[in-house]
């Protein structure tokens, strides 16, 4: 290694060279037993499920090679959650589809028409899957969730077409004219209804950020399925009706829409509402206002939490503490898990890993040793278990460095509170630590918060070496050479490699004499022949911050805490109120981030998307009806849907989340469908068959009653399995399903009454305006309140 006066000096003369096991920089334990933990990460564009299956197959091969020497167990597999979620969503979609078909059969009481309608479900879903594949989207939780949501809606167009064809056949029309006339009468209505439902997703697709990324594939799945269902309804369904219904429908020429049992129950209610129009609107308006009063009762979160029962415990050792000290604390925490139903738990212990002992952590400036214990519960509420563990851990020495959190495991950002304290003037930087501590104390006093931490108080003990330049020069040293020696000695790095019979091995340099445990022992280290470090430098231990935070170039500090309650928004608001009560000097700015900022940004984006969707729907209906007033009538069904949506969330104890707002967005496009189907027929009766306003409303409402109820009930029942949230994959869509079910129920019931009332009032206004401006009266407005009989069948 060097040429001496007596010849070359070889490495074996001054050091012991041996092949040994690599120094451990950490350890792992599984269910209390020593283990080796290996974490496999997929590449960015790789499929999680495919990668996980490939790894599992290779592990099975290794298990046969290892035999009884050890066992290989998979502790965590993200693909299992995905696979179970996908299977759950598929199962719920199939159940929902069956329920929807059953409803069609109960309404039509004809197995042929039921089968014809049912065909639209697989055809539409298959077409949507093909389109998604062409767009580069795979079948995942979001796309399958969108397809499941669409199942109840994809049969709507087919129901409307087939029911109208069936009605024409029942009135005595021959097969071909009945199919042509039946399909023609409703084509405009179903095109408009499907277009409005699809249009509401356009603003969502334009929304950027996390919401746009998550729900773009969801939206495309719904839109593709609905567009496919429209094509099926106007092409496949009429053809199938020709072969399945031709000559097989019982003719009832004298039977009118008013003669059905449903119509006999509905007509008196509709007639009474038309006689007391303003009272009817007053009741509906009162119900809407009352529902809005329930909104403050709803907890607000970004996304509903995952159903995974996982608790994470972090043990952060004090600066300078060894891995062994961390291990002892971790084992103490493991012992606390005994009373709980735990499927499995794993402890991972990591450290600076220096071969130079505990003092190496200090010299190298690396983070303190730490342990993470991941606990998978078999049963029990993870939040309750986490809180009980916090109480028990508080009795362990050093517990101030131990935190417990119930892992969310869901979509979206973490549910936490975060504040930033920044100094406008760098000269006020010295004030930040004290203010940050005040903020931490204030947050800690808020109910349902835990694990309050700040980066200001986090410091690392560091040995500061002040080199005496003159003394170092006399010894032939420089500050740089001394620094290089210390870094090399205290760090766990390979200085070179050697090609030996055992293979290519890393070569590490280790100081003999055992671990160095103090600055005094470090000062005695030789840095040159006959020269100790203490001869050329002064050593002292100082505390330095582990992180230095700056916001927009300003010195700052961050304070955070976990939210352990259900209402993230309310808890964040309480934390903000507590912080606002602090006496902060001028020049110090405190801003809130965390989940409160995410909720504010996400909800704002969603509300803008909903508002834009209403505008788009109105524009499409204006084109459909060639009128600016008739679409206004249909929009009255939207607040009626809000009533049921809010009540559904309150009754089921669901939070107001991004998922719920997606449901509201969908309702904008779905609930107008019923009103379009009814109003389009009412207008046709007036313009083509000469009905007066009152007669057209009664006849149109009676005729469209059955398809409206069929489509609404089928859609609601199709969503019930998903809205129950019984599987992991349904959690993100369960709130959405509940909102759609509640909104559909209230809007369907009230639309059958309120929309005819509003239409009659708007028609009265048209007549008044026409008379005042001497313009032609609307169709049927000049007639008496007389209802002509339907036209004779062909």
* 3-state SS class at 378: coil
Alpha helical stretches, state H, 404-558: 432-444, 469-474, 479-490, 519-523, 533-536
Last residue of a domain, one of 60, 76, 92: 76
Contact 314, 369 (CB under 8 A): no
Residues 38 and 132 in one domain: no
Enter the tokens of residue 544.
């330095």
User: What is the per-residue pLDDT for 25?
Assistant: 60
Q: Are 26 and 85 found together in one domain?
A: no
pLDDT at 492: 55
| In a domain? residue 284 | yes
Say whether both 47 and 34 belong to one domain.
yes
Total domains, the chain:
2
Give me the DSSP letters along 545-580.
Answer: ES--EEETTEEEEEEEEEE-SS-HHHHHHHHHHHHH
DSSP-derived letter for residue 428 is G
Q: Of 50, 76, 102, which residue sits at a domain end?
A: 76
Tokens coding 241: 């009706």
Name beta bridge partners: 374: 312, 346
User: Would you say residue 349 lies in a domain?
Assistant: no
Query: Is 435 inside any structural domain?
Result: no
Secondary structure in 3-state letters for 99-161: HHHHHHHHHHCCHHHHHHHHCHHHHHHHHHHHHHHHCCCCCCHHHHHHHHHHHHHHCHHHHHH
25 in a structural domain: yes
Residues 109, 225 share a domain: yes
**Which H helix or E strand runs over 287?**
helix 277-292
Same-domain check for residues 91 and 47: no
Please indicate, yes or no, whether residues 199 and 288 belong to a single structural domain of this protein. Answer: yes
Return the pLDDT at 218: 84
Q: Under a CB-based contact definition with an 8 Å cutoff, are residues 69 and 380 in contact?
A: no
> Would residue 123 count as lying in a domain?
yes
In 3-state terms, what secondary structure has residue 60?
A: helix
Q: CATH number for the domain including 636?
A: 1.20.1640.10
Per-residue pLDDT, 727: 63
Q: Quick one: 112 and 50 in the same domain? A: no
Please indicate, yes or no, whether residues 70 and 91 belong to a single structural domain of this protein: no
Half-sphere exposure of residue 352, counting CA atoms within 13 Å on the CB side?
Answer: 24
Residue 189: CB partners within 8 Å, gap ≥ 6? 160, 676, 677, 680, 681
Q: Which of 143, 156, 139 is nearest to 226 (CA)?
A: 156
pLDDT at 511: 62
Residues 97 and 60 occupy one common structural domain: no
- The rounded average pLDDT for each run of 10 residues, N- to C-terminus, in the chain (794 residues) is 73 79 69 82 79 86 76 78 73 79 79 83 90 84 81 82 83 84 86 85 73 80 91 89 72 58 86 92 94 91 74 75 77 87 82 46 51 83 84 78 72 74 81 87 88 72 83 87 73 71 76 62 81 87 70 83 84 91 88 85 87 89 83 87 94 88 87 84 84 88 86 84 69 80 91 90 84 68 43 36
Q: What is the predicted pLDDT for the residue at 33?
A: 81
Domain that holds residue 643: 81-293+627-773
44 domain residue, yes or no:
yes
What pLDDT is stored for residue 354 in this prediction? 43
Domain match, 262 and 141 both? yes
Instruction: Give the pLDDT score at 361.
Output: 45
Output the CA angle 610-613-617, nearest 5 degrees: 140
Please report the DSSP string for 75-86 in residue order: ---HHHHHHHHH
649 domain-assigned: yes
- Decide which of 34, 58, 76 is a domain's last residue: 76
* Residue 390 falls inside a structural domain: no
**pLDDT on residue 646:** 95
13 and 87, same domain (yes or no)? no
Q: Helix or strand or coil: residue 258? A: helix
Whether the CB-CB separation of 676 and 193 falls below 8 Å is answered with yes
User: Token pair of 414, please?
Assistant: 């973490």
| Statement to judge: residues 66 and 90 lie in one domain | no
């Amino acid at each position: 290694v060097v040429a001496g006066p007596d010849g070359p000096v070889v490495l074996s003369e001054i050091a012991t060279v041996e092949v040994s096991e690599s120094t451990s920089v950490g350890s792992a334990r599984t269910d209390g037993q020593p283990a080796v933990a290996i974490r496999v990460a997929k590449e960015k564009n790789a499929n999680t499920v495919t990668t996980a299956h490939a790894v599992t197959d290779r592990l099975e091969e290794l298990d046969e090679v290892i035999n009884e020497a050890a066992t290989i167990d998979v502790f965590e597999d993200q693909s299992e959650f995905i696979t179970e979620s996908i299977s759950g969503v598929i199962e719920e979609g199939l159940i929902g589809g069956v329920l929807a078909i059953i409803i069609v059969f109960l309404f039509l009481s004809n197995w042929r028409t039921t089968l014809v309608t049912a065909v639209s479900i697989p055809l539409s879903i298959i077409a949507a899957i093909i389109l998604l594949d062409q767009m580069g989207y795979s079948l995942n939780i979001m796309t399958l969730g969108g397809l499941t949501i669409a199942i109840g809606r994809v049969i709507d167009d087919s129901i409307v077409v087939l029911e109208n064809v069936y009605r024409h056949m029942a009135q005595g029309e021959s097969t071909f004219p009945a199919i042509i006339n039946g399909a023609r009468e409703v084509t405009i209505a179903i095109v408009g209804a499907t277009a409005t439902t699809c249009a509401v997703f356009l603003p969502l697709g334009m929304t950027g950020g996390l919401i746009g990324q998550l729900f773009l594939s969801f939206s495309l799945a719904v839109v593709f399925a609905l567009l496919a269902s429209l094509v099926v309804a106007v092409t496949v369904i009429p053809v199938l009706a020709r072969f399945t219904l031709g000559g097989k429908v019982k003719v009832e020429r004298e039977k009118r829409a008013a003669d059905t049992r449903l119509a006999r129950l509905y007509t008196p209610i509709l007639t009474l509402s038309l006689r007391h129009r303003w009272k009817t609107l007053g009741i509906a308006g009162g119900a809407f206002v009352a529902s809005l009063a329930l909104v403050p009762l709803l907890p607000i979160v970004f996304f509903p939490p995952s159903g995974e029962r996982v608790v994470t415990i972090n043990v952060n050792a004090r600066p300078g503490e060894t891995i062994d000290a961390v291990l002892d604390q971790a084992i103490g925490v493991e012992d606390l898990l005994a009373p709980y139903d735990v499927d499995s738990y794993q402890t991972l212990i990591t450290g600076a890993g220096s071969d130079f002992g505990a003092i190496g952590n200090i010299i190298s400036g690396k983070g303190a040793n730490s342990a993470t214990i991941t606990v998978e519960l078999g049963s029990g509420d993870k939040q309750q278990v986490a809180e009980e563990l916090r109480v028990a851990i508080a009795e362990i020495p050093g517990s101030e460095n131990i935190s417990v959190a119930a892992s969310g495991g869901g979509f979206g950002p973490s549910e936490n509170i975060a504040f930033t304290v920044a100094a406008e003037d760098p000269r006020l930087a010295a004030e930040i630590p004290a203010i940050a501590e005040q903020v931490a104390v204030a947050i800690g006093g808020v109910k349902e918060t835990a694990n309050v931490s700040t980066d200001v108080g986090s410091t690392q003990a560091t040995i500061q070496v002040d080199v005496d330049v003159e003394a170092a020069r006399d010894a032939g040293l420089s500050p740089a050479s001394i620094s290089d020696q210390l870094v090399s000695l205290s760090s766990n790095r390979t200085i070179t490699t050697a090609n030996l019979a055992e293979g290519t091995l890393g070569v590490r340099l280790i100081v003999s004499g055992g671990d160095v445990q103090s600055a005094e022992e470090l000062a005695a280290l030789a840095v040159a022949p006959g020269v100790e470090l203490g001869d050329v430098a002064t050593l002292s231990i100082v505390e330095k911050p582990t992180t230095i935070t700056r916001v927009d170039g300003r010195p700052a500090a961050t304070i955070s805490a976990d939210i352990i309650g259900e209402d993230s928004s309310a808890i964040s608001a309480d934390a903000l109120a507590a912080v606002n009560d602090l006496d902060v000097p001028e020049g110090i700015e405190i801003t809130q981030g965390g989940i409160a900022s995410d909720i504010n940004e996400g909800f704002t984006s969603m509300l803008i998307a909903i508002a834009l969707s209403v505008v788009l729907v109105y524009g499409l209906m204006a084109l459909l009806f060639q009128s600016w007033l008739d679409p206004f009538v249909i929009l009255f069904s939207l607040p009626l849907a809000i009533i049921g949506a809010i009540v559904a969330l309150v009754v089921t104890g669901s939070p107001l989340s991004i998922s719920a707002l997606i449901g509201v967005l969908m309702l904008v496009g779905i609930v107008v469908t019923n009103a379009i189907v009814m109003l389009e027929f009412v207008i046709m009766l007036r313009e083509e068959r000469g009905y007066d306003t009152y007669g057209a409303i009664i006849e149109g409402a009676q005729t469209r009653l059955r398809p409206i109820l069929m489509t609404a009930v089928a859609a609601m029942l199709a969503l019930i399995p998903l809205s129950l949230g019984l599987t992991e994959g349904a959690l993100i869509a369960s709130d959405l399903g509940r909102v759609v079910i509640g909104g559909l129920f209230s809007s369907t019931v009230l639309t059958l009454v309120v929309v005819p009332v509003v239409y009659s009032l708007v028609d009265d206004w048209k007549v008044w305006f026409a008379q005042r401006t001497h313009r032609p009266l609307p169709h049927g407005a000049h007639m008496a309140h007389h209802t002509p009989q339907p036209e004779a069948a062909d």
